[in-house]
Structure 1
Amino acid sequence: MLSNMTMSDEHRKSVILDYFRAFDNGGVAPDGRHILELFSEDAQVYFPKWGIATGRTQIAELFADLSARLISITHDYAHFNWVFSGTDVVVCEGTSHGEHVDGAWCAGNPDWAAGYWCDVFEVRDWKIHRCFIYLDPDYAGQDCLRYPWLAKPI
């Protein structure tokens, strides 16, 4: 049984990749599982400007709130940077592009734009127990009142 098996870094990476692929595919992992099934019952997910969701019910609320704002998202898997700690903790840094209700975004276009992110995971027993997401949630770059340099021509 998988839950009794010691997980390697590659095993943890595969669980995390299933999470990203599910997020890019409307909440459905490559094997048909719902994204919430990738999380332990008491998992925690942090998202900027939302806070910490604890447990699958709150994580579902967080993901529903995000999905209401995102039209599409694609993570750029070929450019992920992985940091393995030798424990259950894995850090993944990467880029994404897609469309938000306020407009499209693509990491690097312009260079200050949304799409750069870094996530810290704890994965054990084939489940994500913690996922703290660090990114700029202003996907469309419209926070010009607080950050006036965003309004400058590119």
Structure 2
Amino acid sequence: MALNTQTMTDEQRKSVVLEYLKAFDNGGVTSTGGSILDLFADDAQVYFPKWGLATGKEQIGRLFGEVGGMIKQIEHHYSHFNWIFSGTDTVVCEGTSHGEHRDGPWRAGLPEWGAGRWCDVFEIRDWKIQRVFIYLDPDYAGQDTARYPWLQRG
């Protein structure tokens, strides 16, 4: 891991998170036309449910390619984000989204138990994402219902 050479404010860390999320909404392309992977440190880690832990840009690129390859379109609801700042390198962002997965559309709150609500925990230093753990239901189209009896009650 690289030595910390720049002190960042919470607002600066927030700007990195927003650039990351907007790049997802833009097919993996940042506002400057670069790759979303440019936002990551070389030895960064990303966790995604049902995929696991990716370490380094090569594995992160594979994770994003495999997961992103199933998503036709996504839009994050920026005006509804909740932010938690730790006073250190950690930023937590909770939010909602809608879009279309290859298996069908989703929108947070429709149905209430469905996909679209998420929470990401970031560590950001030197303008690079060092770590992001993504917490969400990866069943975007809501097809995994048979295993949950409360969903069968309608």
Coarse TM-score class (shorter-chain normalised): over 0.9
1:151 and 1:141, CA in 2 relative to 1: closer, same or farther beyond 3 A?
farther
Could you list the per-position Cα deviations for residues 54-99 of structure 1 after superposition, in whole angstroms to 9, with x for gaps in the alignment?
0000000000011111010000000000000000000000000000
Structure 1: any 5+ residue segments left out of the alignment?
Answer: none
| Structure-2-length-normalised TM-score | 0.94
Tell me whether 67-76 or 3-12 shows the greater mean CA deviation.
3-12
Could you list the per-position Cα deviations for residues 9-32 of structure 1 after superposition, in whole angstroms to 9, with x for gaps in the alignment?
000000010000001100111121
Structure 2: any 5+ residue segments left out of the alignment?
Answer: none
How many residues get paired? Answer: 151
Partner of 2:61, secondary structure, is: helix
Instruction: Say whether residues 1:74 and 2:81 are aligned partners.
Output: no
Instruction: Say whether residues 1:114 and 2:115 are aligned partners.
Output: yes
- RMSD across aligned C-alpha pairs, in angstroms? 1.2
**Partner Cα separation in structure 2 for residue 132 and residue 10 of structure 1:** 20
Q: Residue 126 of structure 1 aligns with which residue?
A: 127
Instruction: Say whether residues 1:105 and 2:106 are aligned partners.
Output: yes
Deviation at residue 149 of structure 1 after TM alignment: 3.1
Deviation at residue 4 of structure 1 after TM alignment: 4.2
**Partner Cα separation in structure 1 for residue 62 and residue 147 of structure 2:** 28
**Partner Cα separation in structure 2 for residue 29 and residue 98 of structure 1:** 19
Question: 8 Å contact 1:141–1:150 — kept in the other structure?
Answer: no
Identity of aligned pairs, percent?
66
Deviation at residue 132 of structure 1 after TM alignment: 0.1
**Partner Cα separation in structure 1 for residue 106 and residue 149 of structure 2:** 19
The letter of the residue matching 2:96 is: T
**Aligned counterparts, 1:32-51, within 5 A:** 32-51=33-52
Deviation at residue 145 of structure 1 after TM alignment: 2.1
**Partner Cα separation in structure 2 for residue 149 and residue 65 of structure 1:** 30
| Structure-1-length-normalised TM-score | 0.94
